[in-house]
Amino acid sequence: MISGLLQRLRAVFKKDQVTRDTSSNKRWLQITLTTSVGVTALVWGVRELKLLQSWELKVYDQMLRSPLALRSAQSRPVQARDNRILLVTITEEDLAKQKWPLSDNTINQLLQKLESYKPRVIGLNLYRPEQKNLAAGLPSRKNIIGTCLLSSMGRPEIPPPPNFPINNVGYNDLISDNEDDQIVRRSLLFAHSRDKKCTTRFSFAALVAISYLEKEGIELDFPDQHHFSLGKTLFPILTTNFGSYQGLDAQGYQILLNYHDPNYLASEVTLTQVLTDQVSPDKVKDRLVIIGTTAPSIHPGFYTPYSASPQQPARMPAVLIHAQMASQIISTVLDQRPLIWDWPNWVEFVWIWVWSLVGGSIAWWLRNPLLLLAVGSITLISLVGICTGLFLFAGWVPLIPPALTLVISGISIMAYTTYQTQQQTKLIILQVEKQKEVIEQLDILFKESTVFVDRHHHPAPKIVTPEKVTGDFILGGRYQISKILGSGGFGCTYLAKDTQRPGNPICVVKQLMPARRDTKFLQVARRLFNTEAEILQVLGKHDQIPELLAYFEENDEFYLVEEYIPGHTLNEELPPVEGMQNELAVLDILKKVLEVLEFVHEHRVIHRDIKPTNIIRCSQDNRLVLIDFGAVKLMQPANSEQTELETVAIGTRGYAPPEQFAGHPRLCSDIYALGMIAIQALTGIPPQELQPDPETGNVIWRSQAQVSEELAAILDKMVRYHFSDRYQSAHAVLQDLKLIAN
């Protein structure tokens, strides 16, 4: 099937296939475009309704947790801590020694200890509204940042320490996503407060980070309502449809929180360690020190993308999330750590649509459920790889919507082509049944003719098929005869020019002459001709079968117009012309012919005359083309002098199996004929000259060829005397041949 697909792709570029390929490509383009647009619109609509948002956010969380994403997006190794930050945590062990809430004296003692080690900024992430003398005893409070809590639905504001200037206070609020997962993925850095006491515009994390950067001369600015900047670094803020968000509440200045691995965020010391002088001054000097509680008994914490990781706690303390935010801001400015970016809506739509086209195109060209599953899975993995690769560069590209369009389009096209194939198969089966009825009537008419000859002892009048004169003679008002390719008892084959098509392309015209011209015989012959033509019209859509361009009746003679295949017959490649073929060449012949037989047999059609002269090697792309689907030869009576039995038992001696000559051909009859061609190629002996085993009836040939045991066993099974002992499908033979190739 794969080689068949490649042949189709190569055929697009062949000049003599322009008409067929243009038609096929137009049909593929029309159906695939229609399907892909419909599927993309459907998925896009579902996405706009937020029905995919939870899936997309889970994918985002998974990629965020990926060690590769951490390594690339943060521009440093996974296990590298941010050495600019020191966390002073208040643990359950600390609370066992200290009462909660911590006393004013304990807080001031902690601040004095830390201040003596000369940190750059101290952030106190604790609510201390009742403390009247915060940082008492310190010479300056400019580098100390306190916190408050904004009011929200059902919750009053928690004011900052009363003796602290509001410029040194940041709100401690964190925003989570929808009510389903309540995961903190965003940082609300600046907001307009309507409270009476917690009036700060800065979040705690933003204020400590900005204060830290100001010590290096980096100033905050708001160039417009969609950006803020720190020095030369511009921070774009979230929009309502950023990434995979739909209808996001993007009020204030928000950015996506690009988490650092929680295990390696920053150095940590405990409250007790600082108060008991167990902390080296070098750990504190010139750093951003953030103080906060990690004790679950005080606050259970918040859900984050790491909550789904079995190696992490289900919730993360607020102080650690603020430290993540502060680290991200500082790293973006000082380390050029990339911010997470997305595409505009129109680019995302095109991206989703392209993958819908890919899924539809794959299904259209493969048309095999198992192969589609394999190739579709590889394509889906490629999509995941591309999205993951872009995330390594901090790009948040939709994954779920294009994956859905890829799958839905592929299934839709496969369902459509399967339905079309089933309808074509039903049509062919119906025509084959009609064909059988007509054949039986023809057989009766031939027998009547034979009885007449026997009774009156003189032959029935023979109809002589006149050959058309080449040159100016035009058939059907458009086909100008240029050359006679062959003639026989059933008519003539001509090379002709189609005068009504651009460029006057060459085609093949087959003249089929009925054996008798009486009305009754012509009526039966006409029915056979029409059913045969309708079958060929369906089969000709395969690129290894000549396309039926037209069929018509003129002067009681029947004509088929087919695509011209430039090249030579397979007979010219077989001994004694070319000498005995090697095993690789025979394998190639078998596979290429079996591919077209698989297609023909899927439509329940038996060729009945597989032989070297009915297989053409196309000179342009080396493909093998099967010609002469010859049930129409049944319009001729039998002739004992001919090697072809042009009766109900059509076939060629040596290639046709016994049941075919008995008038009961089966699908495996074509497999028998192909096997005999392969044996002829290996031995150089025509099938008619091979001797059968007197006990089994199987042909004896192995001693005449140098062939591997594997291929010999396959050929033996293809040409068994009893049809029930043979391969029953072309697909089964192909599967065994693949084992040899592997």
Q: Which residues are designated catalytic?
A: 609
Q: Nearest CA to 557 among 462, 443, 438, 464?
A: 464
Q: Residue 413 half-sphere exposure, CB side, CA atoms within 13 Å?
A: 33
Q: Residue 690 half-sphere exposure, CB side, CA atoms within 13 Å?
A: 26
Please name the residues in contact with 527: beta carbons below 8 A apart, sequence gap of 6 or more. 434, 438
3-state secondary structure 513-575: CCCCCCHHHHHHHHHHHHHHHHHHHHHCCCCCCCCEEEEEEECCEEEEEEECCCEEEHHHHCC
| Helical segments of 199-317, H only | 204-214, 271-275
What Rg value do the Cα atoms of the chain yield, rounded? 41
User: Which burial class, exposed, middle or buried, applies to 137 when counting CB atoms under 10 A from its CB (0-12, 13-18, 19+)?
Assistant: exposed
- What distance lies between CA 352 and its chain's CA centroid? 12
Q: Could you give phi then psi for residue 478, rounded to 5 degrees?
A: -150, -20
Q: Nearest CA to 324 among 58, 76, 74, 630?
A: 74
Residue 232 annotated as binding site: no
Q: How far apart are CA 589 and CA 585, in angstroms?
A: 6
Token pair 């003796």: residue:
163
Both tokens of 49, joined, read 């309704």
| Eight-state DSSP code of residue 293 | E
Q: How far apart are CA 59 and CA 51, in angstroms?
A: 14
Q: How far apart are CA 622 and CA 604, in angstroms?
A: 27
Token pair 């059988």: residue:
436
- What distance lies between CA 477 and its chain's CA centroid? 48
DSSP 3-state assignment of 405? Answer: helix
Q: Nearest CA to 303 among 427, 194, 177?
A: 177
Segment (H or E) for 625 = strand 624-626
| Eight-state DSSP code of residue 649 | S
Q: Nearest CA to 554 among 471, 476, 635?
A: 476
Please name the residues in contact with 294: beta carbons below 8 A apart, sequence gap of 6 or more. 89, 90, 91, 317, 319, 320
Q: How far apart are CA 538 and CA 625, in angstroms?
A: 16
Contact 264, 253 (CB under 8 A): no
Please name the residues in contact with 446: beta carbons below 8 A apart, sequence gap of 6 or more. 515, 637, 638, 647
Both tokens of 155, joined, read 């919750």
Q: How far apart are CA 75 and CA 135, in angstroms?
A: 37
Token pair 């043979």: residue:
726
**Which residue positions form the known binding site?**
510
**Which residue positions form the known binding site for ATP?**
510
